[in-house]
Amino acid sequence: MSDTLEAVRETLPMPLVQLSMQQAINRALGEILDADDRALVFGEDVGVLGGVFRVTDGLQARFGAHRVFDTPLAESGILGTAIGLAMAGFHPIPEVQFDGFAYPAVNQIITQLARMNYRSRGTLPMPVTLRVPSFGGIRAPEHHGESLESLFAHVPGLKVVSPSSPQQAYHLLKHAASMPDPVIFMEPKARYWNKAGVNLADNVVGAGSASLEGSVVVRPGKHATLIAWGAMVSRCLQVAELAAEDGIELEVLDLRWLKPIDEAALAASVSRTRRAIVVHEGPHTAGLGAEVAALVSQSCFDVLRAPVERVTGFDVPYPSGDLEDEYIPNIDRILFGVQRVLEYRRG
């Protein structure tokens, strides 16, 4: 009888657990450490303090200071340590405390982390998952808010992913940590405290997606596609809600993986709506939106009814504090982008 009840229980959907993104990442890290004795979490203040955003809270007490430990304030050293540990057979999960602090580690990331597997002809894989609290929206001082995805995505050998919700953060982090490749995991700081239901089942990957690879449509539509990642997905969903009041149905595509980009999903979505707006926080010139726009134009040239629009940050250093709201794409700027593609007329 008990076997029958257990079989029935396994077929029932797992109830959603209300978690913030910070809690979802913490839970994922705990499960990764629990399942893999070679996994190590380290960075500035991640141990005793539990991280400045408390993402690693309680992990050192649970797993010990030999597996969750603090490092000196030396980002290049953090990445160098991660590379050496990976070469020795460990699965490092280092944290760069803020995105702007990643610049001192760029040399290690580009010249060593991204190339080691290639350089060694596959004998030294780099299963390193680098967690980077990313983007703006928390009114932090200079160097505490950046949008570095185009820098990382440009580097051969790296994979880059940015979750937009607690559900995506939980599952994508576990997936990234299972890869034999170096993955830059860009966590949108502005979304750390937003709670949502998370299905913890291993076979659940997120609404609208059959895989943890590639992009996912988080809102279907027919008049235009909003393409975004990280915190901008939530903002685009707000825009779609407002546009719906005027009868405009906007599709929202969460790009998720910024390297490699899911070209098939881009083409499928824009082929349906025939118009596209890319939204991101990084600067306009040579931002990742330019690559997305090129891929859309290449795949959908025959069906596009307007040029691909980009709504982005400006070509200035990422501002701090009070100027963030002027820099980060807001609802009005995105709506104006939508208006431009909807009203575009050839000739």
- Catalytic sites, residue numbers: 144
The most distant pair of C-alpha atoms in the chain lies apart, rounded to whole Å, by 73
Alpha helical stretches, state H, the chain: 2-11, 21-35, 59-63, 75-87, 106-108, 116-119, 149-153, 166-177, 231-244, 263-273, 288-300, 324-327, 331-343
Instruction: Determine the distance from the C-alpha atom of residue 244 to the mean position of all C-alpha atoms in its chain, rounded to a whole number.
Output: 27
Buried residues in 228-241 as b, exposed as e (16+ CB within 10 A): bbbbbbbbbbebbe
**8 Å CB contact between 327 and 136:** yes
* Number of Cβ atoms within 10 Å of the Cβ of 208: 13
Exposed, middle or buried, 5 (CB in 10 Å: 0-12/13-18/19+)? exposed
Q: Where are the beta strands (DSSP E) in 96-190?
A: 129-134, 159-161, 183-188
Contacts of 319 (CB under 8 A, 6+ apart): 326, 327
